[in-house]
Amino acid sequence: MTETLVKDTYMTTAIAGALKAAMAEDESVIVLGEDVELSTIGCTKGLVDEFGTNRVRNSPISEATVVGSCVGAAATGLRPVMDLMFSSFFYVALDQVANQAARLRYMSGGQVDLPLVYFAGTGPSGSAAAQHSENPHSLLMHLSGIKVVFPSSPGDAAGLLIASVRDPNPVVFLLDLMLAGSKGPVPAEIEPLLIGKAEVKRSGDDVTIVAIASAVGAALEVAAELEADGVSAEVIDPRTLTPFDWDAVTESVARTGRLVVVDPARRTCGAAGEIVARVTESNWPDLKSRPRRVTWEDVPIPFSPVLEEAVTLRQDQIREAVTATVAGNGRA
Amino acid sequence: MTETLVKDTYMTTAIAGALKAAMAEDESVIVLGEDVELSTIGCTKGLVDEFGTNRVRNSPISEATVVGSCVGAAATGLRPVMDLMFSSFFYVALDQVANQAARLRYMSGGQVDLPLVYFAGTGPSGSAAAQHSENPHSLLMHLSGIKVVFPSSPGDAAGLLIASVRDPNPVVFLLDLMLAGSKGPVPAEIEPLLIGKAEVKRSGDDVTIVAIASAVGAALEVAAELEADGVSAEVIDPRTLTPFDWDAVTESVARTGRLVVVDPARRTCGAAGEIVARVTESNWPDLKSRPRRVTWEDVPIPFSPVLEEAVTLRQDQIREAVTATVAGNGRA
Amino acid sequence: MATAERQRQEVDLIGLFARMARIRAFERKVQALFKRGNLPGFVHLYIGEEAVGVGACSVLDDADKITSTHRGHGHLLAKGADPKLMMAELLGRETGYCKGKGGSMHIVDYSLGILGANGIVGGGLPIATGSGLADRVLGRDRVTVCFFGDGASNQGVLHEALNLSAIWSLPVIFLCENNHYTEWMRTEDITAGRIADRSQAFGIPGVQVDGNDVLAVREAAATAVARARAGEGPSLIEAETYRHHGHNEGEEVFSGPYRPQDEIDDWIARDPLVLFRNRLVDDGAAPEQFDEIQEREEQLIEEAYRFAEESPMPAAASALDDLYAETE
Amino acid sequence: MATAERQRQEVDLIGLFARMARIRAFERKVQALFKRGNLPGFVHLYIGEEAVGVGACSVLDDADKITSTHRGHGHLLAKGADPKLMMAELLGRETGYCKGKGGSMHIVDYSLGILGANGIVGGGLPIATGSGLADRVLGRDRVTVCFFGDGASNQGVLHEALNLSAIWSLPVIFLCENNHYTEWMRTEDITAGRIADRSQAFGIPGVQVDGNDVLAVREAAATAVARARAGEGPSLIEAETYRHHGHNEGEEVFSGPYRPQDEIDDWIARDPLVLFRNRLVDDGAAPEQFDEIQEREEQLIEEAYRFAEESPMPAAASALDDLYAETE
Ligand SMILES: Cc1ncc(C[n+]2csc(CCOP(=O)(O)OP(=O)(O)O)c2C)c(N)n1
Ligand SMILES: Cc1ncc(C[n+]2csc(CCOP(=O)(O)OP(=O)(O)O)c2C)c(N)n1
Ligand SMILES: [Mg+2]
Ligand SMILES: [Mg+2]
């Protein structure tokens, strides 16, 4: 498979390619959202030329109804992929996500599949300020009934995008905007990846770092740095948050006995807290030292670059957390 | 103060009384929402007779705009109290909560106070099914910028309601519908309680049970039962979740060395996980055994009574969790 | 207009009455069960509004679709839902439409194009729009009727759904059941202008009809359906009607009287079943048959109740099923 | 209508021109800064639309209020915001309106009744409604102008805000700036009917005006404001205009050309500053003064820029301030 890799593909191009493949393989896949013809972020670029305006639909700024129309369309024969542009706009339409898309199957006793994908760019992208920088994955994880995909590399993004479109359930597919301009290898023939399968991005014995989306790259850099200090860090990328590959994490912590979670999101009731709590429960006897979280501060994302930097993830914090966790021994 | 207690006041009556006092002491307090004149849940009962239709306003089913109008009104001189009826309806209006109410002060560099209260009945109330049984407190805690009050007794509710209306910040005030028909003492002259102050509802030495809203009563019953088995359980009611009285919990666990959190909410990314994670971080050296959570299952609330019971909190689960936690010793 | 014409002519008038009678019998039974404390959860009855659901669904084929509301029993029965499975669902049984997971506000039958009752007021508007979108994209000759209330007409999604279905010419009929109350509020106190006018700015026809006259509703629906099938896009119909019962069963404990007695009396005097029966008798129908029909439907509902009551409760463990579909 | 009459008469025409020139100068400066890479974040310029903000705000007192949008610089300057504090905010400085926390899309000046730009399209509609509600409840003789775009007109909150302000007779003027584009989409492709008609079903007057004619906007606003102050409730104004620039600065890298060149040319030929200047000159104003005014305003903006540039960045630790107000 490595031979067929297209090297240095942008994350956005990888997603656009996967979406194109998904549309080509199944006529019931449609794409809709504001400016999907032109494509603001780039993930729907060129689709309208290929598939026409019946299947690629620019929609008005009516997020609640467009999000909800995906539910109705998915229940009656389409596989809609909606581009919400920025994940902050989920809040405008959250009823249709939380009370409808994530509920109808369960409430109907399993009568209906809802194969739909809500795609959105997410997180800070450089002074986009509080209303364009949310990372809503923790909130979506809390809802239940909707899958949450949040990849860290172009290859993963392409494989998971195909899998999301094929999935018979509602899926939120998040593109970390910090990664929009990043590059990586993507197979020429995109194969679906399993939703619910983590990947060990680096193996190690001394500490398990669980990192989400753009935090994966930062964690890998820290792990590489710490190797010089003789620390062998394992970096796990869950890739999908609902369902979550708990086995991968608990198995790793069972070996390393140490856990640091790095999550680009506010701390309170975030994914990092869930992972710490869950591992503390499941791996209690294994834990050799205090688990730690590295997250944003519990404030909105401010505009000014200095302020944005102050509240979001910094590599030195990850390094400190890992170092302290490795240094910890037992109850001390 | 005990002399002036009005015994056996319903939770709803206590809240209605506090709201009446808040309106009487400050002319800028208004109440709005669907059927606030008649009062579906009972917490706005009689207010229109006392204060008239200028200050007590029935509103149309337009949650997004009514929620948002509270932001505009609070920024320009009123102290609106909006009754959303069921907390599930927050999703319909979440943009105005998450992107506006919880953000404007911060984004404006602190230029404006937004003294407003969003009141809602919340949680299961007996086969109300998935769209009328949410407990959104964890999601609201994750937002930052908005306070979250979630009391467990009529007395606390009354004192916290007054405090919420007087607070210069947006506050979500949740009435656990399992408690709507419960009774307890309320002072004749309602005094505000501090938002951000937990209460130890029962003192104990062996284990700390942090319980939220209707879980407090269940936890107290379990604690009373376990006394016979020689277990001394402390029960802490945070009463407000944002801000959260971490000191109260960490101080308690420093003494007991054991933690069980009981939260009427889905598990993943919920308040219970946050409390377990936070205490694990802060009280690592103190913990004598594995901390545990008792929560709902990670599914929507189903309709049928047997199913609803199966996914929500059961006292036997609390008892088991406490017993197991007390039995645990060190890493085992 | 050929289809509309055909459908108009083919009408089985006695069948319409029978369906209204079925709804009435179902709701009466539900009311009795609620009173006896045998029914969990919220119940909103359709009594008094039967002509709307039956008139509208009478011009739909099985493969056409509807979205419904919290007051949905009538819509579902009108669209052909099985009273047995409905009653079992209301009683929270394993044999119910949703295996006991949904209850009164969430009954669904996708095989009959019933895309769901909804506990969120206005929640069905976007879903119906999406159903219309699927028909449009796939070139299917189907329509979707979106039932919603006068109270729901103040949700912003109405505005959005009208716009979206107008620009995409979606085959959706927005059918507002104006029973003049939003819970315990007079809707006119919280609603500016006429609801039927709310589509005009979008270039969508909007009409008001007598919602207690099943043939008037049928006529308006036929016109709208024909328009939709011809690819000319959505329509709005406002059907004026009244609920004989409270907003929900059991409201008396806190609501007190909130509607003028003469208003109630006037509307009950215009009971849609009585109106229609009288009209048919005036037109020469044999009067005895109507009592027979009502008895037959009542029996049917009694059987449905027995079926439901004899059905087992779902297994507790099944509460964890049905959240996600298995991936292939 | 006495107030409207008075305001119409008292107009300082040269002052109107000067304010439009200030906006133009500010936006030109911002454009240059963005091009040089000196500006963080998103920037949406108001060039070409100046007559709308200035015309509308010219009939407001300081204590009247506005809500603005992501394209808000013009509204804020029209309402009297300090270009220094604005520029400092755009540059993320401690001295900015929001201490660097807000940026272009979130500038606020409560002391001037500027309740906020907004990054959520349509987000200001409920907030303006609430501002009107406060005036109504407290019996204050104030009005609120809610600026929103043609794209925003498809958000459901417009429908809700119109209904709410109609039933409560709120003193709110809903002012739609129709620049014919929603980002890179032609708004007419995604919008049914005329925006000005969208208030009619609620019994609210709706008018279309030439948004490039500052006096026409002023006239329409004066009528609406008078109505609001008289307690007669809200109005809708649709001002037709055009943005000379892209949706946001820097769009070229991905947008390509998406508007017909002759359309752009036609609108630039109707530049609101040129139009107004020509008109005033035709009416006898001395031509030289306009260049002077423009230069003066450009200088003012240069000063604002110097102030901003010399201002310190906020301290990193201040990122944790300002989330909650202290409780007493
Ligand atoms: C979003 C939302 N807001 C409020 C409610 C509570 N509620 C249930 S029914 C109802 C009144 C609905 O009125 P209308 O649409 O006229 O329907 P009707 O009950 O008269 O049939 C309200 C406010 C709800 N279920 N959902
Ligand atoms: C709720 C929401 N959806 C989408 C966007 C992205 N967005 C920013 S501006 C814009 C277009 C707004 O068009 P219009 O209201 O006409 O204002 P204009 O930019 O033309 O001034 C869009 C879609 C947003 N900021 N908020
Ligand atoms: Mg009604
Ligand atoms: Mg525009």
The model's confidence at residue B5, banded by pLDDT at 50, 70 and 90, is low
- Structure confidence by residue, pLDDT tens digits, B289-307: 999 999 999 999 999 999 9
The predicted pLDDT at position A331 comes to: 73
The catalytic residues of B are 132
The predicted pLDDT at position B99 comes to: 98
The model's confidence at residue A6, banded by pLDDT at 50, 70 and 90, is confident
Query: In sequence order, what E strands does C122-230 have?
Result: 144-149, 172-178, 181-182, 185-186, 206-210
C3 pLDDT more than 70: no
Token pair, residue B180, equals 């709507």
Token pair, residue B185, equals 């003492």
C282 pLDDT more than 90: yes
**Which of B23, B106, B147, B148 to mutate against chain D (most D CBs within 10 Å)?**
B106
B53 pLDDT more than 50: yes
The predicted pLDDT at position B330 comes to: 85
- Using CA atoms, how far apart are residues B250 and B232, in angstroms rounded to an integer? 17
Ligand nearest to the CA of D153: 2
Atom from ligand 2 closest to the CA of residue A131: 25
List of chain A residues whose C-beta atoms are within 8 Å of the C-beta of residue D98 = 303
- Mean pLDDT, all residues of chain C: 96
The model's confidence at residue A136, banded by pLDDT at 50, 70 and 90, is very high
Identify any residues that bridge with B234 across adjacent strands, giving them in sequence order.
Answer: B208
The predicted pLDDT at position A7 comes to: 76
The predicted pLDDT at position C280 comes to: 97
User: What residues have their beta carbon closer than 5 A to ion ligand 3?
Assistant: C 149-151, 179, 181
Out of A269, A281, A284, the one facing B142 most closely (by C-beta) is A269
List of chain A residues whose C-beta atoms are within 8 Å of the C-beta of residue C162 = none
C314 pLDDT more than 60: yes
The predicted pLDDT at position B1 comes to: 37
Secondary structure, 3-state, C270-328: CCHHHHHHHHHHHCCCCCHHHHHHHHHHHHHHHHHHHHHHHCCCCCHHHHHCCCCCCCC
Residue C180: CB within 6 Å of ligand 1? no
- Using CA atoms, how far apart are residues B240 and B226, in angstroms rounded to an integer? 27
Is the CB of C63 inside 8 Å of chain A's CB atoms? no
Let me know if A142 is a catalytic residue.
no
pLDDT (tens, 9 = 90+) of chain D, 328 residues, equals 345 555 556 789 999 999 999 999 999 999 999 999 999 999 999 999 999 999 999 999 999 999 999 999 999 999 999 999 999 999 999 999 999 999 999 999 999 999 999 999 999 999 999 999 999 999 999 999 999 999 999 999 999 999 999 999 999 999 999 999 999 999 999 999 999 999 999 999 999 999 999 999 999 999 999 999 999 999 999 999 999 999 999 999 889 999 999 999 999 999 999 999 999 999 999 999 999 999 999 999 999 999 999 999 999 999 999 999 998 6
Atom from ligand 1 closest to the CA of residue B92: 1
Atom from ligand 1 closest to the CA of residue C121: 26
- Structure confidence by residue, pLDDT tens digits, B7-23: 799 999 999 999 999 99
Is the CB of D99 inside 8 Å of chain B's CB atoms? yes
Query: What's the C42 CA to ligand 1 centre distance in angstroms?
Result: 12
The predicted pLDDT at position D50 comes to: 98
The predicted pLDDT at position A5 comes to: 67
- Structure confidence by residue, pLDDT tens digits, C109-163: 999 999 999 999 999 999 999 999 999 999 999 999 999 999 999 999 999 999 9
- Using CA atoms, how far apart are residues D231 and D220, in angstroms rounded to an integer? 17
Q: What percent of chain C has pLDDT over 70?
A: 97
**Which of C70, C125, C327, C328 to mutate against chain A (most A CBs within 10 Å)?**
C327
- Structure confidence by residue, pLDDT tens digits, A61-120: 999 999 999 999 999 999 999 999 999 999 999 999 999 999 999 999 999 999 999 999
Instruction: Tell me the one-letter amino acid at B292.
Output: R
The predicted pLDDT at position D3 comes to: 53
Instruction: Tell which one of C70, C120, C242, C247 to mutate to probe ligand 1, the residue whose CB is within 8 A of the most ligand atoms.
Output: C70
List of chain C residues whose C-beta atoms are within 8 Å of the C-beta of residue B40 = 183-184, 254
List of chain A residues whose C-beta atoms are within 8 Å of the C-beta of residue D120 = 88-89, 92, 131
- Structure confidence by residue, pLDDT tens digits, A31-62: 999 999 999 899 999 999 999 999 999 999 99
- Using CA atoms, how far apart are residues A33 and A52, in angstroms rounded to an integer? 14
Pairing of strands B116-122, B79-86: parallel
The predicted pLDDT at position A330 comes to: 85
Q: Which residue in chain A has the smallest CA separation from B266?
A: A142
**Using an 8 Å Cβ cutoff, are B61 and C121 in contact?**
yes
The predicted pLDDT at position C11 comes to: 86
The model's confidence at residue A2, banded by pLDDT at 50, 70 and 90, is very low
Atom from ligand 2 closest to the CA of residue D187: 16
In Å, how far are B6, B15, B119, B238, D156 from B175, measured between CA atoms? 20, 9, 8, 14, 29
User: What letter would DSSP give residue A121?
Assistant: E
State the average pLDDT over residues A19-38. 98
- Using CA atoms, how far apart are residues C293 and C290, in angstroms rounded to an integer? 5
State the average pLDDT over residues C252-268. 95
The predicted pLDDT at position B331 comes to: 73
Out of C166, C192, C203, the one facing D166 most closely (by C-beta) is C192
Distance from CA of A101 to the nearest CA of D (A): 19
The predicted pLDDT at position C32 comes to: 98
Distance from CA of D204 to the nearest CA of C (A): 9
- Using CA atoms, how far apart are residues B146 and B102, in angstroms rounded to an integer? 5
Ligand nearest to the CA of B87: 1
Residue from C38, C49, C22 nearest C242 by CA: C49
**Using an 8 Å Cβ cutoff, are B65 and D164 in contact?**
yes
The model's confidence at residue C8, banded by pLDDT at 50, 70 and 90, is low
Q: Do A305 and D314 touch (CB under 8 A)?
A: no
Out of D130, D160, D328, the one facing B62 most closely (by C-beta) is D160
State the average pLDDT over residues C310-321. 98
Token pair, residue B143, equals 């937002």
Q: Do B307 and C100 touch (CB under 8 A)?
A: yes
Instruction: Tell which one of D121, D158, D251 to mutate to probe ligand 2, the residue whose CB is within 8 A of the most ligand atoms.
Output: D121
B96 pLDDT more than 70: yes
